[in-house]
Amino acid sequence: MKILSIYWGLSVGGVAKYAATLVRVCEHTPVQLRSLCLLPVGREVDQDVLAMLDAVTIPVRSVVDLSWVSSVRKAIAEEEPDCVISHGFNGHFVSLLATMGGRQYIKRLASYHGAYHPNTPIRRLVSPLYNGFTNWFLANKACAIVCVAQCCVKTLAELGVPASKFTVVHNGIPALTHVPDRRGAIRKEWGFDQSHVIVGIASRFEKIKGLDYLIQSFAQTVNTHENIRLVLIGDGSQRESLQQLAVALGVDTKVSFMGTRSDIPDCLSAMDIFSLPSLSEAHSIGLLEAMRAGKAIVATDVGGNTESVSHEKEALVVNAGDCNALADALSRMVSDAQLRDKLGEAARKRFNAEFTENAMLEKTARWLTKVCCN
């Protein structure tokens, strides 16, 4: 059984991580999986992941360049896949154009990772088109859909996508058998000592991630906990406004913007509390990384977050956008080291039981075998 996995762009982040994991599904089921990556010229590409994939790459030179359509159709004719699986609005669009009217019947499969959330005014204008097309494609053109969280199934079912098409396979990331103890070295690099309690997150700096609420909550918490510090790892369109917010609240000397890092496990080891203040999530990879690291977690009750952690069991869960509730949870964590240890260890155990890369691959393999072979 031959499967072609279609991506538009392969930028650093969730899509690339998903691609890097999915390519290993062949270790768990007798299928041949190859990737087809359309790469817009000038856009950042995760070269490490691209090197891992057995990929056909097709350049997209500009918005008006449609030469990729014939290139994709030619690639599909040469590969002769039994199924294609597409990811995201652009991937679904490519899948539809490339398989219409062909001589060979090809099953269209799809993955769904949540709705498209634009980060610029222009993209906000076209987001209804993106999400509308995705919902139409999933309802009418995809034979089967793998969703990364149960919350995605609920959303799509309410939009009229048949329930019979859904299978839920939560995201998974590699289990770490050994991580060097870099806690002290990273904290020293950041200018902190062991008396500081570090709250942190690694995230895109976009409005949907709720980082402004985190900074506001931190500003409340620091009034009663002098030793607390906030570390924000990542970058994005909100970086400047977040820095300005920290200055306006008088906490800029206690909030550190560390930029993009490739050593996230090391950075997590230096933190005491991981806070995920998102306004929307499907199934957060960042949350899984914190669980794997055994961090004390404060997360918002959105999307698939509570499919990963439960309140008072593996994390403290608060309502999204509620600065007071988030500040109270952070204060409680800072004050109670035993609670941090208890929740962190429970989070690590749940990760190892449910959310490893192998668990994801085994479930994905069973799904692919079922939908491709029937």
Domains of the chain: 2-172+357-373 (3.40.50.2000), 183-354 (3.40.50.2000)
Residue written as token pair 């996230």: 264
Query: How high is the pLDDT of residue 189?
Result: 96
CA distances from 77 to 22, 38, 99 (A): 23, 16, 9
Output the CA–CA distances (angstroms, integers) from residue 184 to 68, 192, 223, in the order listed: 50, 9, 26
With bands split at pLDDT 50, 70 and 90, how would you rate the model's confidence at 171?
very high
Cα separation, 251 vs 243, in Å, equals: 10
pLDDT at 155 over 90: yes
Q: Examine the pLDDT at 178 and tell me if it is beyond 90.
A: no
What's the confidence (pLDDT) of residue 339? Answer: 98
User: In this predicted model, what pLDDT tens digit does every residue of 3-37 receive, in sequence order?
Assistant: 999 999 887 677 788 888 899 998 998 888 999 99
Residue-level pLDDT at 94 = 92
Residue 128: Cβ within 10 Å count: 11
Using alpha carbons only, give the angle 273, 275, 277 rounded to the nearest 5 degrees.
170
pLDDT for res 240: 97
Residue 315: strand, helix, or coil: strand
Q: 265-282, pLDDT tens digit by residue? A: 999 999 999 999 999 999
Outline where 87-206 has alpha helix (H): 88-99, 121-140, 150-158, 183-190
The 10 Å Cβ neighbour count of residue 8 is: 23
Counts of helices then strands in the chain (DSSP H, E)? 15, 13
What's the whole-number average pLDDT of the chain? 93
- Say what the pLDDT of residue 329 is: 98
Tell me the two tokens of residue 240: 């400047």
| Residues 284, 304 contacting (CB under 8 angstroms) | yes
Q: Rounded CA gap, 178 and 321, in Å? A: 36
Sequence-distant (≥ 6) Cβ neighbours of residue 328 within 8 angstroms: 318
Complete DSSP assignment for 62-94: STT--HHHHHHHHHHHHH--SEEEEEHHHHHHH
Which pLDDT score is estimated for 180? 77
Structure confidence by residue, pLDDT tens digits, 88-125: 888 999 999 989 876 678 999 999 999 888 777 777 88
The crossing angle, in degrees rounded to 10, of helices 14-22 and 357-373 is 70
- Percentages helix, strand, coil for the chain (3-state, rounded to 5) are 45, 20, 35
What was the pLDDT predicted at 10?
Answer: 84
Q: DSSP 3-state assignment of 58?
A: strand
Whether the model pTM is above 0.85: yes
pLDDT at 103: 64
> For residue 133, what pLDDT is reported?
94
In which residue are the tokens 């008088």 written? 250
User: What is the signed CA dihedral for 264, 269, 274, 278, rounded to 10 degrees?
Assistant: 10
Please compute the mean of the pLDDT values over residues 185-212 and round it to a whole number. Answer: 95
3-state secondary structure of 148: coil
Burial 177-209 (b: 16+ CB within 10 A, else e): eeeeebbeebbeebebeeebbbbbbbbbbbebb
